[in-house]
Structure 1
Amino acid sequence: MKRTGLTVALLFVLSCIGPAAAGDGTVRNCTWCHGTSAQGYMVAPRLAGQRPAYLENQIRSFRDHSRDNPFSKQYMWGAVAALDPESVHDLAVYFASIPGKPANDGNPSLIAVGKTIYMDGIPEANIASCYACHGPNAEGTREIPRLGGLAYFYLKARLEQWGQGYHSGAGTPMPIVARALGPNEIEALASYLSFVR
């Protein structure tokens, strides 16, 4: 853990000195977009409490450009370009060790509908439950992300982007799943998940 703290501190110091050129992008401090406590903002997800294997996998997806939504291209492809595998691992472990807090920013009146979709899926539309992969409390496992407590706006945008054909990495089923969701289901799911602890 000492080494992880040292790596994070070094990355912070380097970012304060000024951005360093890295290929076609810029190395940015994670806190610029994800916040000093890694709780995220509307468009930048919470990293605190996320699964370390998922974080490492996503950084690889940014590096190989298989995570291809607009914000990934604009910000993350360049931001991770200079990170070596050891730094990626250390950052993932560090962010996973910070307790996450729920965003609580969805529509409270949609919690019940969103929870039903999350737990049971939509059988008549052949949509499996989110629970099957992401767990009963949206906690995720290994390379499957924690969804509980992420910001409503972020979750809604990601589901919409998957429905439009963007990817979050090689081999993920989410574009297929999201294409089957209508705007009301997306709204309800994103609202419900923003309140999950």
Structure 2
Amino acid sequence: MKIGYAALLMLALAATASAQAGEDRPAEKLVRERCHKCHGLNGESSEPEFPKLAGQNVDYMTRQMANFKTGVRKSTRMKEKVEDLSGGEMRALAEYFSAKTLVPERSGRTELIETGRRLYFSGHFEHGVTACTTCHGPLGRGALYLPRLAGQNVQYLVAQLRAFRDFSRTSPNMVMHTVVENISDAEIDAVAEFLSTME
């Protein structure tokens, strides 16, 4: 019997909520024990390959942790980190990082940033590339289950856009795949550079 994505997510959250005996561990303790090496104590990642979590949307982060836990999103490292978390702990971690202030990147690549700005707000109609602002908003901050992209690490953004395009990262509703299926490497580099500088 096939279980839908929404049902799978609800089962994961319900299971984790009842998996632990006693009270949930404080978010600060969990951050120190398992998050800070990659994402930093304040959600400013230690390496550009890891995403910044500061200022990220709570619902988005909570869902992604559940996705890693259930295997909907693949990462051996992340699955190990979230495997024993309860639903409350995942939510608390998301709220902890969301409350931190994100520091945007600084770049002197003016021409590349301007190309990225045009792509973000207007897309590339001739290539079938939809404007990013359609879903992620004019400020790049997303909403609910849509991630904040503004201020994110360039290297991480590039890797994720390529992964969506190449289907090495899958999305349950497939929207991202259709958005970026025709985007070029140069366009990915440009829009990532622009997004990294947004506040």
Instruction: Give me the TM-score of the superposition, normalised by structure 1.
Output: 0.82
Partner of 1:10: 29
Shift of 1:168: 5.1
- Check conservation: 2:55, 2:99, Cα contact below 8 A: yes
Residue type of the alignment partner of 1:34: H
Aligned to 1:36, which of 35, 38, 41? 41
1:113 aligns to 2:132 (yes or no):
no
Q: 2:101 aligns with which of 99, 102, 124?
A: 99
Question: C-alpha separation between the residues in 1 aligned to 2:188 and 2:141?
Answer: 19
Alignment of 1:81-160 (within 5 A): 81-104=83-106, 107-160=109-162
SS in 1 for 2:26: helix
- Superposed CA RMSD in Å reads 1.7
TM-fit CA distance, 1:174? 1.4
Residues 1:49 and 2:51 aligned together: no
| Residues in 1 aligned to 2:139 and 2:36: alpha-carbon distance in whole angstroms | 26
Deviations 1:134-173 (A, max 9, x none): 0001011111000000011110111111111023542241
**Partners of 2:150 and 2:109 in 1: CA distance:** 15
Q: Return the alpha-carbon distance in structure 1 between the equivalents of residues 64 and 197 of structure 2.
A: 24
Distance 1:154 1:163 in 2: 14
Between stretches 53-62 and 100-109, larger displacement belongs to 100-109
**Which deviations, in whole Å up to 9, do the C-alpha atoms of 1:46-85 show, x marking residues without a partner?**
10000000001111111121213xxxx2311111101100
Q: Counterpart amino acid of 1:124?
A: E
- Quote the residue 1:196 is aligned against: 198
Tell me the number of residue pairs that the alignment of Structure 1 and Structure 2 aligns: 174
- Runs of 5+ unmatched residues, structure 1: 1-5, 16-28
CA distance in 2, matches of 1:106, 1:74: 36
Match for 1:62: what amino acid?
A: F
Contact 1:58 1:169 (C-alpha < 8 Å) held by counterparts: no
Give the whole-Å Cα distance in 2 for the aligned partners of 1:78 and 1:107: 38
Do 2:161 and 2:188's aligned partners in 1 also have CA atoms closer than 8 Å?
Answer: yes
* Counterparts of 2:190 and 2:126, CA distance in 1: 17
